[in-house]
A and B are shown apart, each in its own frame.
Chain A
Amino acid sequence: MAKSFISGAKGEKPRSDLRVKYTPSKKPLSISVKSTVDTFFGEAIKQQTQAVCKDLKVSSGSIEIEDFGALPFVIAARIEAAIKQAHPDIQLESLPPMKNYCISTSSRDRFRRSRLYLPGNQSKLMLNAGIHKPDAIILDLEDAVSPSEKEDTRYVVRNALRSLDFFGAERMVRINQGDLGLKDLEFIVPHNVHLILIPKVESAKEIKIIDERIADISKKCGRKTPVFLMPIIESGRGVLKALEIAEASLNIVALAIGLEDYTADLGVPRTDKGGESFFARSMIVNAARAARIQAIDTVYSDVGNEEGLRESIKEAKALGFDGKGCIHPRQIKPIHEEFAPSLEQIEKAKKVTLAFDEAEKKGIGVVSLGSKMIDPPVVKRALQTINLAIASNLLNPDWKN
């Protein structure tokens, strides 16, 4: 009997996903579609399947689709994945059109207070993720995806990067470790990923290899904008090498810590008080400051416990972190609220900013407030506070008027 290749959703009744079974043969291409939205999109799914096969120049074999209301970008990804399992030599791709809103750019210093992790194979969670306004959305290819699904998931993530509106959130992907991660890059660098999270980094060398590969792919696909990097430190060795890692590439904009793996590496339980990770977190913050990049704290995994989350954010902020990971949209608001500057800080920052404007206008190099001279770092910090206050909806962007 002919061997079949299956890509797609597991489980009895997945939502917004599909299963594709491709059986190569010499017979002309045959397509069968079963769908929960058959009445409305049965014909469209068939046509799309034909289009994907045409893109990949596949004209034989049978494709059986079992659809549960998946969107077109997911359907295309699953079909391509199944076909390429059978024919790994096919170099052609079937790319959905790149949407205008996917062409946005990012910047080094933008806020990264909240970054929402989404499993790369769960497209239904991605569709509306942006409406919750996290600073960043991470499509995860690593720990959230089981080894057997890693290959297939790349197609979903690639197509999502080309199709979905993240409503201004920074477009991030967490790649796998090692060679798997290098392969991941081919699926994301040409599709305007803004930032790549690199897991379990322990040396500058790992960063350099990835950076070079990104440069190669960028050159090939004509990408001009930089791909920012955020190494995640998750081991004792990584912590001790934090500065070296932070300075390994100019594309690094932030350093993050992952405490699940770190505490496992130490062989200690992860506690709420976090005494076991105090040293590591301080190291990350100090290395980040030394390299003039952002320091990002680990995720808080108890989704239902808002109080615990807020405590954890307060602590992270006090240690010097600029942001925190989240695994559920409901964590975003508390993170933004806790990272917001106090009203007192805002008032002070406003005064400093106005004094700075005044000095600029007069062409004076020295900023002073009353009889007090203000150092440049204080000015810089005040400007940051103002930006953060605006981002936190505590200050009208037009406040000077």
Chain B
Amino acid sequence: MTKVKMKKNAIDRMVPTMVNGVKQTPFQGVGKFKPKGNKAVLPIRSCSDFPADGNKTVKSLKEALQKCGLKDGMTISSHHHFRNGDLVMNQIFDIAAKQDVKGLRWFPSAAFHCHKPVIEHIKNGVVDWVEGSLNGPLGDLASRGKMNGTAILRSHGGRWQAVQDGEVHIDIAVIAAPTADAFGNATGDRGPSACGLLGFGLVDSMYADKVIVVTDNLVPFPCVPWQIQGQNVDYVVVLDKVGEPEKIISGTTKLTKSPDRLYIAELTAKFVQAAGIIKDGFSFQAGAGGTALAFAIFLKEMMKDAGVKARFIRGGSTKYLVEMLEEGLTDFILDGQTFDLEGVRSMRENHGHVNTSPFTSYNWHGKGNFASMLDAVVLGATEVDINFNANVVTHSDGKMLHGIGGWQNCLFSKCTILPIPAFRNRIPVIIDEVTTLVGPGELVDVIVTERGIAINPLRKDLIKATKDSGLPIRKIEEIKAEIDDLIGGQPEKPKLTDEVIGIVKWVDGTVIDSIYKIED
């Protein structure tokens, strides 16, 4: 790999100025970068090129891809609403391989364990690189520098921004849909493979050159609701099965049984209460992850005791949030993705369970978004440092193992809380400097560990509000020192090379940090 020119950004991280042949802007500070120019423009289409009877079905994926003009070097996109139960994308690359297509860029909103076969296609040159949240085996592969391009990690909002701003041009969008009509209208909330919503695929449907909707439940026109609009769709393919809905439930959506995690979750809820956040009309977001779910349950009890109703809760929805909606503890769930089948059912049945997209929720290059309106958000992290900078994409050993998801976007809430264990298996979570800086400390307000709560010194208001709460509020340095003593000192730094194998984008498209190849 050729040496790239590096530049120090506004948060003192070295980042490349050119990635995969595209010029990059280093991070300039939160809210500092002001984009210029216009959004991506689309060619004008004409109804004369599409069947007047609205029937856009073709016989097979292969035929659809051929008609879309699949060729070397194209960018193929997909959404991840089926999470680990996606049955479509592996087929796409198998077809491409058979047609001897090379050098594709896969642009998923996230990749999962089920996409492990893509590794073969990277090795045989069908896929050059994957640009999207890299989980599991693909993350491991990328960390070892074995992709043919640099990984670019973006938040959900950042993905919308990149497509909308023309940073990423999608040639063919493949949208797996649990229910669709022959015109291309599609929805995720019903059908045998129902997964809830299709919000992550929305930007693809709007900006891609060609759009293929793939379904296993074709209904007569009209398919309502039309989360994806047929007016954006070129072809419709019907398969026997597009996804395994039982696998949209990932391990991260199970409630924790660990007494320590439950303690952290309870402490988090008590903090939110002590800070005066729980009041009529408030809002919060608690995503997947056992601790966040447990937090929601503790919060629910507090809300019931206080007779308080929320105006809205932001999902990833789970049965716990659905219960709150159905018990009248919130007017709305504004849902970005459903994490379990109860979430899917609720979205179908409850007027107050609203499907959203990264455009409405997260996109930074718009006229506002929901994330900054939230009163409190609870997020995970792999590491934080004493300046409250946080990492969510790499483990302490430098391996890329998680996607950013909506994490960066959520940092803009009025109170961002990271409930995390102070150490995992001798590895401390609070360290001197995060391996990868994904979230600037100025946006991380509170860290809740089993050894105490640390409030960002910038948040004098929160410090004051919780001063007499009786909660174990401590300096972050103090918690760190306690853990360092227990584990026998700070760990050695992971052995990383100086070869950049990935970059982390900030919500505005600038580069906030680099990910380096690990030593084998």
Give me the interface of A with B, judged by CB distance under 8 Å: 15-16, 36-37, 39-44, 48, 68-72, 99, 127-128, 131-132, 163-165, 328-330
Which A residues are in CB contact (< 8 Å) with B494? 39-40
Tell me which of B263, B424, B488, B491 contacts A132 (CB under 8 A). Answer: B263
List residues 238-285 of chain B with CB under 8 A from any CB of chain A: 259-260, 262-263
Q: Are the CB atoms of A37 and B425 closer together than 8 Å?
A: yes
Which A residues are in CB contact (< 8 Å) with B425? 15-16, 36-37, 68-69
Total count of chain B residues near the partner, CB < 8 A? 22
List residues 418-449 of chain B with CB under 8 A from any CB of chain A: 424-427
Is B492 located at the chain interface by the 8 A CB criterion?
yes
Q: Are the CB atoms of A329 and B259 closer together than 8 Å?
A: yes
Which B residues are in CB contact (< 8 Å) with A69? 424-427
What CA separation (Å) do A20 and B240 show in the bound complex?
54
Do A131 and B491 form a contact, CB below 8 Å, given A37-B425, A41-B426, A69-B427? no
Q: Are the CB atoms of B450 and A71 closer together than 8 Å?
A: no
Which B residues are in CB contact (< 8 Å) with A42? 492
List residues 361-408 of chain B with CB under 8 A from any CB of chain A: 396-397
Chain A residue nearest to B488 in the complex (CB): A72
Q: Are the CB atoms of B492 and A71 closer together than 8 Å?
A: no
Rounded to whole Å, the gap between the CB of A3 and the closest CB of chain B is 31
Chain B residue nearest to A99 in the complex (CB): B485
Do A71 and B486 form a contact, CB below 8 Å, given A39-B494, A40-B492, A43-B492? yes
Q: Are the CB atoms of A328 and B259 closer together than 8 Å?
A: yes
Rounded to whole Å, the gap between the CB of B469 and the closest CB of chain A is 13
**Which of B397, B450, B482, B486 has the largest count of A CB atoms less than 10 A from its CB?**
B486
Q: Are the CB atoms of A330 and B487 closer together than 8 Å?
A: no
Q: Are the CB atoms of A72 and B487 closer together than 8 Å?
A: yes
Rounded to whole Å, the gap between the CB of A122 and the closest CB of chain B is 13
Rounded to whole Å, the gap between the CB of A376 and the closest CB of chain B is 34
Q: Are the CB atoms of B489 and A44 closer together than 8 Å?
A: yes
What CA separation (Å) do A364 and B5 show in the bound complex?
88
What CA separation (Å) do A165 and B489 show in the bound complex?
17
Total cross-chain contacts (CB, 8 A) = 63
Q: Are the CB atoms of A44 and B488 closer together than 8 Å?
A: yes
List 9 tightest A-B contacts by C-beta distance, closest first.
A40-B491, A69-B425, A329-B259, A72-B488, A69-B426, A128-B260, A39-B397, A39-B494, A131-B450
Which B residues are in CB contact (< 8 Å) with A36? 425
What CA separation (Å) do A42 and B488 show in the bound complex?
12
List residues 460-491 of chain B with CB under 8 A from any CB of chain A: 482, 485-489, 491
Chain B binding surface SS class: loop
Rounded to whole Å, the gap between the CB of A63 and the closest CB of chain B is 18
Rounded to whole Å, the gap between the CB of A314 and the closest CB of chain B is 22
Which B residues are in CB contact (< 8 Å) with A132? 259, 263
Q: Are the CB atoms of B427 and A40 closer together than 8 Å?
A: yes
Is B116 located at the chain interface by the 8 A CB criterion?
no
Do A71 and B487 form a contact, CB below 8 Å, given A40-B492, A41-B492? yes
Q: Are the CB atoms of B397 and A330 closer together than 8 Å?
A: no
Tell me which of A37, A131, A164, A329 contacts B426 (CB under 8 A). Answer: A37
Q: Are the CB atoms of B262 and A131 closer together than 8 Å?
A: no
What CA separation (Å) do A71 and B426 show in the bound complex?
6
Q: Are the CB atoms of A131 and B488 closer together than 8 Å?
A: no
Do A41 and B259 form a contact, CB below 8 Å, given A16-B426, A131-B451? no
What CA separation (Å) do A132 and B259 show in the bound complex?
8
Is B8 located at the chain interface by the 8 A CB criterion?
no
Q: Are the CB atoms of B488 and A41 closer together than 8 Å?
A: yes
Q: Are the CB atoms of B488 and A40 closer together than 8 Å?
A: no
What CA separation (Å) do A99 and B481 show in the bound complex?
14
Given A41-B426, A328-B259, 6 other A-B contacts at CB below 8 A? A39-B492, A40-B491, A42-B492, A43-B492, A131-B451, A329-B263
Do A40 and B396 form a contact, CB below 8 Å, given A71-B426, A127-B486, A131-B450? yes
What CA separation (Å) do A41 and B491 show in the bound complex?
6
What CA separation (Å) do A329 and B263 show in the bound complex?
10
Is B304 located at the chain interface by the 8 A CB criterion?
no
Which A residues are in CB contact (< 8 Å) with B123? none
Rounded to whole Å, the gap between the CB of B147 and the closest CB of chain A is 22
Q: List 14 A-B contacts (CB under 8 A).
A: A37-B426, A37-B491, A40-B396, A41-B426, A41-B488, A41-B492, A44-B489, A69-B424, A71-B486, A72-B488, A128-B259, A131-B260, A164-B486, A330-B259
Which A residues are in CB contact (< 8 Å) with B260? 128, 131
Chain B residue nearest to A17 in the complex (CB): B425
Is B7 located at the chain interface by the 8 A CB criterion?
no
Chain B residue nearest to A45 in the complex (CB): B488
Q: Are the CB atoms of B427 and A37 closer together than 8 Å?
A: yes
Which A residues are in CB contact (< 8 Å) with B459? none
Is B39 located at the chain interface by the 8 A CB criterion?
no
Rounded to whole Å, the gap between the CB of A176 and the closest CB of chain B is 27
What CA separation (Å) do A215 and B214 show in the bound complex?
80
Which B residues are in CB contact (< 8 Å) with A71? 426, 486-488
Is B495 located at the chain interface by the 8 A CB criterion?
yes
What CA separation (Å) do A8 and B262 show in the bound complex?
29
Which B residues are in CB contact (< 8 Å) with A16? 425-426
Do A131 and B487 form a contact, CB below 8 Å, given A15-B425, A40-B427? no
List residues 477-520 of chain B with CB under 8 A from any CB of chain A: 482, 485-489, 491-492, 494-495
Rounded to whole Å, the gap between the CB of B320 and the closest CB of chain A is 18
Which B residues are in CB contact (< 8 Å) with A163? 486
Chain B residue nearest to A131 in the complex (CB): B450
Chain B residue nearest to A124 in the complex (CB): B425
Rounded to whole Å, the gap between the CB of A334 and the closest CB of chain B is 13
Which B residues are in CB contact (< 8 Å) with A328? 259
Which B residues are in CB contact (< 8 Å) with A44? 488-489, 492
Which A residues are in CB contact (< 8 Å) with B492? 39-44
What CA separation (Å) do A37 and B397 show in the bound complex?
9
**Which of A36, A43, A72, A131 has the largest count of B CB atoms less than 10 A from its CB?**
A131
What CA separation (Å) do A43 and B489 show in the bound complex?
12
Which B residues are in CB contact (< 8 Å) with A131? 260, 263, 450-451
